[in-house]
Amino acid sequence: MLIKGANVYCDGKFIRKDIAVSGEIFTVYSNDDIVKDYSDAYIIPGLTDIHFHGAMGKDLCDGTKESIEAICEYEAQNGVTQVIPATMTLADEELERIFKAIGEYDGTKGAEFIGVHMEGPYISKDKIGAQNPKYLAMPSLEHFDKYQKLSNNRIKKITIAPEVDGAKEFIKERADEVVISVGHTDCDYDTALEAFDLGARSVTHLFNALNDIKHRSPGVCGAAFDSPEVMVELITDGVHIHPSVIRMIYAMFGDDRVILISDSMMATGLSDGKYSLGGQDVYVKGKKATLESGTIAGSASNLFDCIRYAYSIGVPFESLVKSAAVNSAKEAGIYDKYGSIRVGKYANFVVVDKDLNIIDVYIRGKKIGGVNENN
């Protein structure tokens, strides 16, 4: 397939050029007769969402192939071609069932299922957010290894509060195996900095379920800023973070270190109403999802909607693509095959118009249409 006339995202900027796809990958040239003319459209790498819970009334923690597949299909329709959904803080027997289902999942519909983000139970009761405090646990290598084995080694990222007993030892021992992210934590600057020195390399949804940054106590945000190797997740759904702070974070960290996430829950793609997250009731009105207490409980926006919102408040589209496609693939350890439009990589890409409306989505060189229908 030869794709002509589009503005293609390459190395942080858009260049008008032709690209070729042969089978599943980008190639130097095409030897078939299929020509797609996307004149004046924009082609970007398929997005990778490394932190979300569900969509279309389904949640990863349903622990079923049907739910995972439905989520993957929805994400693909919305430009997310690789997914790393997140678990919640739940009872051991529930987590065992969920990770077993994750390990057995072999679906091929919709977005590619790369692995999971284990969000809890090794977090702080003081920054619990929408997690369930009833099922908190201390970090344990044996405990984690059990879930990793059940998941068939699909745990790619784990959120941990570094002040919790056993956390520092856990970070030191498992930092080479999974991405360890500081989050749901009440820790101060020095404790966060120590966690980063031990091997933590990410911050879970910056500013949410963390201490605020202050001029004499910069907290996790300050420690992350002072640690050049650390990436920060950012939810840009128009609810979690004020527009000024979003622009500020891009000015502070640059677009090399920000990873856009949706943190979407099962209401995403559906109407307002009562839903569930981690076994707790969630009430959705517009973009806002909250527990009965008023605590924000994930988002009701997909990752491409988060891009649109951030673009509307002044963040350059090029920076947003880098944050949602390039940086996320790098952190997930899949950038050798995903996250950019380069010869030899999988042909996962999204075609959009100048108003950021999605025209087409391709996964492994096949156009996704309708309900994951190749055409």
Q: What is the pLDDT of residues 181-240, one digit of tens each?
A: 999 999 999 999 999 999 999 999 999 999 999 999 999 999 999 999 999 999 999 999
The contacts of residue 250 (CB under 8 Å, 6+ apart) are 258, 315, 319
- The reply to whether 119 sits in an annotated binding site is yes
Q: Give pLDDT, residue 291.
A: 94
List active site positions: 263
Q: Give pLDDT, residue 370.
A: 39
Give every residue of the chain whose pLDDT is below 70, as ranges.
369-375
Q: In 3-state terms, what secondary structure has residue 236?
A: coil
- The reply to whether 296 sits in an annotated binding site is yes
Work out whether the CA dihedral 310, 274, 266, 52 comes out positive or negative. positive
- The reply to whether 300 sits in an annotated binding site is no
pTM surpassing 0.85?
yes
Q: Which amino acid is at 181?
A: S
The contacts of residue 258 (CB under 8 Å, 6+ apart) are 231, 232, 234, 249, 250, 319, 323, 327
Work out whether the CA dihedral 124, 129, 133, 139 comes out positive or negative. negative
Name the H helices within the chain. 65-77, 92-104, 141-150, 167-174, 189-198, 219-225, 243-253, 303-312, 317-321, 327-332
Sheet holding 47-49, edge to edge: 47-49, 80-83, 112-113
Whether cis (ω within 30° of 0) applies to the bond prior to 121 is yes
- The reply to whether 205 sits in an annotated binding site is yes
Tokens 């924000």 identify what position? Answer: 296
- The reply to whether 57 sits in an annotated binding site is no
- The reply to whether 53 sits in an annotated binding site is no
Per DSSP, what are the bridge partners of residue 278? none
Closest to 345 in 3D by CA, of 15, 6, 1, 21: 21
- The reply to whether 91 sits in an annotated binding site is no
CA–CA dist 362, 369 (Å, integer): 9
Element (H, E) at 359: strand 358-363
The contacts of residue 164 (CB under 8 Å, 6+ apart) are 122, 123, 124, 138, 139
Reduced DSSP (H G I as helix, E B as strand, rest coil) percent helix, strand, coil of the chain, to 5: 30, 25, 45
Tokens 């640690």 identify what position? Answer: 227
Q: What angle do CA 310, 311, 313 make, to 5 degrees?
A: 70
Tokens 């990410």 identify what position? Answer: 202
- The reply to whether 242 sits in an annotated binding site is no
- The reply to whether 240 sits in an annotated binding site is yes
Contact 168, 152 (CB under 8 A): no
Q: How big is the chain by its Cα radius of gyration, in Å?
A: 20
CA–CA dist 41, 343 (Å, integer): 20
Q: Give pLDDT, residue 29.
A: 78
CA distances (Å), origin 164, targets 127, 132, 155 = 12, 16, 21
Tokens 């517009």 identify what position? Answer: 286
